[in-house]
């Protein structure tokens, strides 16, 4: 009996013990990986949900050299506004689009509304006019359509007031920032916090604002003015866009015109990946896209763009009827381009989700045709 126990029982018991120990370790690793995947999926879904949270577009105003036409009429006509003309200063002819105004504007004392109606000094004690940069007055014109929205958003504590971000190149940042402050003063708007952002950021300023988890509304201002040597096929203009994260309930007299989802940036050679990621953040099916607004893409990349749309399930917007090129009609506005596309999308009122594509950057935009209210978190 002892012999058989030594030969059969004890070796098998040892094998079973070793097998159980190994199996316990395997099961522990499996359950660890299983629940780690569950937690990672929950975390990923939460992060994607946060990334898919859009900005509310509360209003947009612009001042562009459109020849007396509306932006939607200019876009739908497709006729370019750029032409060969002399710059304001210097010699030669350049194909571009600009205002006919001179560089300075003589603002009459009666136009200086920054003092208020009852606070103007007597006529005999003030100068009859003041020289102001014309671009400042163009910006005042652009702020007009959003002024009531800004006033409504500034009726609470100052910590909830909108913040202003001015898109400018570094060497002009200080000058442009002061011009925006002057425009806000002339337009009789509150003294909002005003800072500059790189003009190269353009649409990606939305991404930075969402990443910072800012809860204040955001006024984005972009302006372009050329006194001399304007770039070929460029355009002047000013634009002001009021955006708000979906954290707080808006005042009753402030309406949501549309929603702009988180933009995605990449390289022109990987535009297909950029567009696919943009649809992920926009929470839309590529087949449901109804229109695409394209700026910042040269003609040499048109064929690759068309191939990308066909091969990456974007065939719904691969036809010319579904594409608009504001920068080829109005002129290249650099940092203004994507925001001109947003303004044109609002005016043209194409139904369904739309793409805003600026170079190798893209975002999904929805027009809020029925002004439905989405319950905020707070």
5 domain residue, yes or no:
no
User: Which alpha helices (H) appear in the chain, and where do they start and end?
Assistant: 2-4, 10-51, 71-77, 134-143, 147-153, 173-186, 205-211, 271-282, 302-311, 326-329, 337-348
* Residues 194 and 271 occupy one common structural domain: no
- Tell me the pLDDT tens digit for each residue of 123-137: 444 455 678 889 999
pLDDT value at 109 more than 60? no
Kindly give, in sequence order, each residue whose CB lies less than 8 Å from that of residue 375, ignoring residues fewer than 6 positions away.
none
Q: What's the CATH number where 336 sits?
A: 3.40.47.10
Residue with tokens 């009459």: 108
Of 257, 292, 318, the residue at which a domain comes to its end is 257
C-beta separation of 327 from 96 below 8 A: no
**How many domains is the chain built from?**
2
The dihedral through the CA atoms of 331, 333, 337, 342 has a sign that is negative
* Residues 190 and 297 occupy one common structural domain: no
- Tell me the pLDDT tens digit for each residue of 137-169: 999 999 999 999 999 999 988 999 999 999 999
* Residues 210 and 71 occupy one common structural domain: yes
195 domain residue, yes or no:
yes
User: How sure is the predictor about 378, in pLDDT bands with cuts at 50, 70 and 90?
Assistant: very low
Reading the block at residue 110, the tokens are 């009666």
Rounded Cα distance, 250 and 59, in Å: 13
Of 232, 257, 282, the residue at which a domain comes to its end is 257
- Tell me the pLDDT tens digit for each residue of 20-69: 777 778 888 888 888 999 999 999 888 888 888 889 999 999 999 998 89
Reading the block at residue 366, the tokens are 């929805």
> What pLDDT, on the 0 to 100 scale, is given for residue 327?
95
Rounded Cα distance, 268 and 85, in Å: 32
Kindly give, in sequence order, each residue whose CB lies less than 8 Å from that of residue 247, ignoring residues fewer than 6 positions away.
215, 376, 377, 378
Q: pTM of the full predicted structure?
A: 0.84
Centre a 10 Å sphere on the Cβ of residue 122 and count the other Cβ atoms it contains: 6
11 domain residue, yes or no:
no
Nearest by Cα to 337 from 327, 349, 323: 327
- Range of the structural domain that residue 104 is part of: 55-257
Reading the block at residue 143, the tokens are 């702020």
* Residues 276 and 194 occupy one common structural domain: no
The dihedral through the CA atoms of 36, 42, 45, 51 has a sign that is negative
């Amino acid at each position: 009996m002892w012999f058989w126990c030594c030969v059969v029982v004890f070796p098998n018991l040892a094998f079973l013990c070793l097998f159980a120990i190994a199996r316990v370790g395997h099961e522990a690793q499996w359950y660890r990986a299983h629940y780690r995947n569950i937690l990672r999926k929950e975390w990923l879904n939460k992060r994607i949900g946060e990334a898919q949270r859009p900005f509310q577009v509360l209003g947009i105003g612009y001042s562009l050299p459109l020849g007396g036409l509306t932006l939607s009429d200019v876009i739908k006509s497709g006729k370019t506004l750029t032409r060969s003309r002399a710059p304001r200063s210097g010699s030669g002819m350049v194909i571009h689009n600009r205002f006919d105004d001179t560089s300075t504007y003589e603002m009459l004392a009666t136009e200086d509304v920054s003092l208020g109606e009852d606070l103007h000094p007597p006529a005999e004690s003030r100068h009859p006019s003041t020289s102001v940069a014309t671009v400042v007055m163009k910006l005042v014109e652009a702020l007009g359509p959003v002024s009531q929205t800004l006033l409504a958003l500034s009726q609470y504590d100052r910590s909830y007031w909108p913040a202003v971000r001015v898109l400018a190149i570094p060497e002009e940042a200080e000058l442009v920032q002061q011009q925006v402050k002057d425009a806000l003063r002339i337009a009789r708007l509150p003294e909002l916090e005003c800072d500059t952002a790189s003009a190269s950021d353009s649409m990606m300023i939305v991404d930075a604002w969402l990443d910072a988890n800012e809860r204040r509304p955001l006024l984005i201002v972009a302006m372009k003015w050329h006194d001399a040597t304007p770039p070929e096929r460029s355009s002047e203009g000013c634009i002001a866009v009021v955006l708000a994260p979906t954290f707080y309930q808006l005042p009753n007299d402030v309406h949501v015109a549309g929603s702009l989802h988180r933009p995605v940036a990449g390289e022109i050679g990987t535009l297909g990946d950029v567009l696919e990621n943009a649809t992920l953040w926009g929470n839309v099916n590529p087949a449901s896209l109804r229109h695409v607004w394209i700026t910042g893409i040269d003609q040499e990349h048109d064929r690759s763009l068309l191939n990308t749309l066909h091969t990456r399930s974007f065939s719904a917007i691969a036809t010319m009827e579904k594409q608009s090129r504001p920068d080829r009609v109005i002129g290249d506005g650099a940092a203004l381009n994507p925001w001109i596309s947003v303004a044109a999308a609002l005016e043209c009122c194409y139904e369904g989700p739309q793409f805003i594509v600026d170079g190798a950057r893209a975002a999904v935009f929805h027009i809020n045709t029925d002004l439905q209210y989405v319950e905020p978190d707070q």
